[in-house]
Amino acid sequence: MNGIAPSRVTRWVIGILVGAFFAIPMLATLLYTFRDGDGFSPVHWAALFDPAKTSSYAPIWVGLGNSLVLAVVTVAIVLFLLTPTMILVHLRFPRLRPGFEFLVLLPISIPAIVLVVGLAPIYQQLGRMLGTGAWTLAFAYGITVLPFAYRAIQASIDAVDIRTLSEAARSLGAGWATIVLRVIAPNLRTGLLAASLISVAVVLGEFTIASLLGRQVFQTALVVVKNTDAYAAAVFTLLALAFAFVLLIVIGLAGRSRTRKAGS
Amino acid sequence: MTSATRSTWAAIGLAPFAAYVLLFLALPTVLAVASGLVDADGAFTLDNMAALGDPVILATFANSTWLSLLTAVIGAVVGALVCYALLGLSETGAVRTAVDAAAGVFAQFGGVMLAFAFIATIGLQGVVTQLLLGAGIDIFASGPWIYELPGLILPYVFFQIPLMVITFMPALSALRPQWAEANLTLGGSRASFWTRIGIPVLAPSFLACTLLLFANAFSSYATAAALASQGSQIVPLQIRTALTSETVLGRENLAGALAFGMIVVVGVVMWLYSLVQRRAARWRG
């Protein structure tokens, strides 16, 4: 019915060739983790649960712990700072929207490696005020996730008429806190979920800022472990990529349930 | 409460976010660029900017440029082919869902992990390297290029193709089947649909996405840093060297000057991107 769509053969040829380019490094990495001398065995996977190996994996667990704390704080910034501002701009300052959009999409155009040059002196000051705990990095991460989180939440805001909802709630006597928490937020839940998950994925994958500011996070720990045990680094790489893949599948499915509801 | 005071309160509601963006986006950007304009004592100088004319620095900018250009073009062409292959598949089907998620992972969250995957594949001890060696082919006969500039090409293409799929797919999906029908009604063929309608209509989007890919490769740091633990063949690695060692080329604050150079290149490319993108959006209803 669609005269534009490619033929079955073309589809398969492109799919197989490009699929191979992406599958080979992943499969090779998987094989690599099963390498044991000249043969193959799950020894490097079993080592994850070996108490004797715990100390050599310690950087990973510390880094992962820090990254999870950072993920939580970053999601908090998205939910409690970005989201209320977006709702406010939408309801009260619609004329500010183009400027606001430009601002939140700006981090796409400013390379993290440039940002880190300017963040270094700021974090020196911040370290004196708030200490050098890993969680303070979340302020920088909140900026790097802005474009992703904004797009996810804005898609929800555009799909729901929050202006009418908030006016209806107000005419029934609800205060602003009630409107935002009990009327608007539940209607934006798919967008908020997608924004949160994508923020988690970005934070777990972030390396540039943490590495150059000398903080221990998951990705910097991978590099440390790689130098002593390349197999362990490969195992954690596969696990982390698989985890991010699952997160994005969930985002895709969550977005779909919304479009289906909107369509019916 | 009068409406004037209500507006004031609403405006105050914007303040926390404004302060946050000012402190962690605007200030670092200004500091990064400004640090290139002061010397060790904080006095204004153009001395660091002169470093951008240094042959070593020019060479790294040239390296970054051709690496980004090459991987952007390969990524754009192959990514566009993938988008074409996905055309006509249900957006909610299993294939699209899996491809979208995989593209997101590789384009945005790979970084260090992609470098490791390529080391495990075509590193000196990599699975494919050893396999080929068994077949009598030594891919490193002319030296371990994987840890040098050419070694960045494959991992970069690996994250460029998925970014193209993410950014170009909306443009391709917006092609209207009615145009194909009109083309057929008027006696056109499948080929003439692409040469006369499809490609001209998509050209601006394709160009815009290629520019985005260029900026993406130019800014990318993690993959290169994990692959090339020493050396500074491209600008982001040169910034690392400038940040982690006291003086490079006998200059202070070189990182600031390099950051300034990067902002200019990426800024111009992203500006062109938005211009072309606006042109591309014209025919989309």
A111 and B13 in contact by Cβ < 8 A?
Answer: no
Dist. CA A222–CA A213, nearest whole Å: 16
In a domain, B208, yes or no: yes
User: pLDDT higher for B251 or B255?
Assistant: B255
CB A204 within 8 A of CB A243: yes
Most confident stretch, B91-100, B202-211, B253-262: B202-211
Q: What is the model's pLDDT at position A257?
A: 64
Q: What is the model's pLDDT at position B111?
A: 85
Q: Which residues contact B158 (CB under 8 A, 6 or more apart)?
A: A21, A22, A25, B106, B110, B114, B118
Report field, pTM of the whole predicted structure over 0.80: yes
* Chain A residues inside the 8 Å CB shell of B98: 249
Dist. CA B140–CA B258, nearest whole Å: 32
Q: What is the pLDDT along chain A (264 residues), one digit of tens a residue?
A: 456 788 889 999 999 999 999 999 999 999 999 988 777 888 888 887 777 777 778 889 999 999 999 999 999 999 999 999 999 999 989 999 999 999 999 998 899 999 998 998 899 888 888 887 889 999 999 999 999 999 999 988 988 888 999 999 999 988 888 988 899 999 999 899 989 988 998 999 999 999 999 899 999 999 998 888 888 889 999 999 999 999 889 888 877 765 555 443
CA B40 to chain CA centroid, Å, is 33
- Sequence letter at residue A91: L
Domains of chain A: 58-263 (1.10.3720.10)
Q: What is the model's pLDDT at position B247?
A: 57
Mean residue pLDDT of chain B comes to 87
Q: Does pLDDT of B122 surpass 80?
A: yes
Dist. CA B106–CA A223, nearest whole Å: 18
Dist. CA B221–CA A147, nearest whole Å: 19
Give me the residues paired with residue B44 across strands. Answer: B38
> Taking CA A256 as the corner, what is the angle to CA A255 and CA A259, rounded to the nearest 5 degrees?
95
CATH code, domain with B105 = 1.10.3720.10
- Radius of gyration of chain A measured on its C-alpha atoms: 23
* Chain B residues inside the 8 Å CB shell of A115: 25, 28-29, 32
* Chain B residues inside the 8 Å CB shell of A150: none
CB A97 within 8 A of CB A89: yes
In a domain, B21, yes or no: no
* Chain A residues inside the 8 Å CB shell of B117: 25-26, 28-29, 234, 237, 241
Of B106, B180, B256, the CB nearest to A3: B180
- Sequence letter at residue A88: L
B101 and A245 in contact by Cβ < 8 A?
Answer: yes
CA of A104 to nearest chain B CA: how many angstroms apart?
A: 9
Contact map slice: A 64-123 vs B, CB within 8 A: 77, 81-82, 84-85, 88-89, 92-93, 103, 106-122
B219 and A140 in contact by Cβ < 8 A?
Answer: no
Is B142 in a helix, a strand, or coil?
coil
Q: What is the model's pLDDT at position B178?
A: 83
CA of B17 to nearest chain A CA: how many angstroms apart?
A: 6
Average pLDDT value for residue range B80-99: 89
State how far the alpha carbon of A156 is from the alpha carbons of A87, A164, A194, B103, in Å: 11, 15, 10, 22
In a domain, B273, yes or no: yes
Best of A2, A4, A122 to disrupt the B interface (most B CBs within 10 Å) is: A4
User: pLDDT higher for B168 or A251?
Assistant: B168
Burial status of residue B207 (CB atoms within 10 A of its CB: 0-12, 13-18, 19 or more): middle
Best of A29, A113, A199 to disrupt the B interface (most B CBs within 10 Å) is: A113
User: pLDDT higher for B231 or A122?
Assistant: A122
Q: What is the model's pLDDT at position A264?
A: 38
> Taking CA B278 as the corner, what is the angle to CA B273 and CA B279, rounded to the nearest 5 degrees?
100
**What is the number of other CB atoms lying within 10 angstroms of the CB of residue B89?**
15
Q: What is the model's pLDDT at position A131?
A: 80
Tokens linked to A146: 């802005």
State how far the alpha carbon of A258 is from the alpha carbons of A199, A229, B203, B249, in Å: 20, 44, 32, 56
Q: Which of A43-47, A186-190, B185-189, B281-285 has the lowest mean pLDDT?
A: B281-285
Matching residue, tokens 């384009």: B107
Reported as a single tens digit per residue, the pLDDT across B67-78 is: 999 999 999 999
In a domain, B134, yes or no: no
* Chain B residues inside the 8 Å CB shell of A92: 7, 10, 13
In a domain, B52, yes or no: yes
CA of B164 to nearest chain A CA: how many angstroms apart?
A: 13
Of A28, A77, A233, the CB nearest to B127: A28
Nearest-CA residue of chain B relative to A114? B259
In a domain, B17, yes or no: no
Contact map slice: A 228-247 vs B, CB within 8 A: 230, 233-234, 237, 240-241, 244-245
Q: What is the model's pLDDT at position A227?
A: 86
Range of the domain at B237: 44-110+160-283
Domain count, chain B: 1
pLDDT class of B91 with cuts at 50, 70, 90: confident
Best of B99, B106, B127 to disrupt the A interface (most A CBs within 10 Å) is: B127
Q: How many Cβ pairs closer than 8 A exist between chain A and B?
A: 254
* Chain A residues inside the 8 Å CB shell of B106: 22
In a domain, B138, yes or no: no
B177 and A122 in contact by Cβ < 8 A?
Answer: no
HEC assignment per residue over chain A: CCCCCCCHHHHHHHHHHHHHHHHHHHHHHHHHHCEECCEECCHHHHHHHCHHHHHHHHHHHHHHHHHHHHHHHHHHHHHHHHHHHHHHHHHHCHHHHHHHHHHHHHHHCCCHHHHHHHHHHHHHHHHHHHCCCHHHHHHHHHHHHHHHHHHHHHHHHHHCCHHHHHHHHHHCCCCHHHHHHHHHHHHCHHHHHHHHHHHHHHHHHCCHHHHHCCCCCHHHHHHHHHHHCHHHHHHHHHHHHHHHHHHHHHHHHHHHHHHHHHHC
Of A1, A205, A249, the CB nearest to B111: A205
In a domain, B61, yes or no: yes
Q: What is the model's pLDDT at position B246?
A: 62
Q: What is the model's pLDDT at position A258?
A: 55
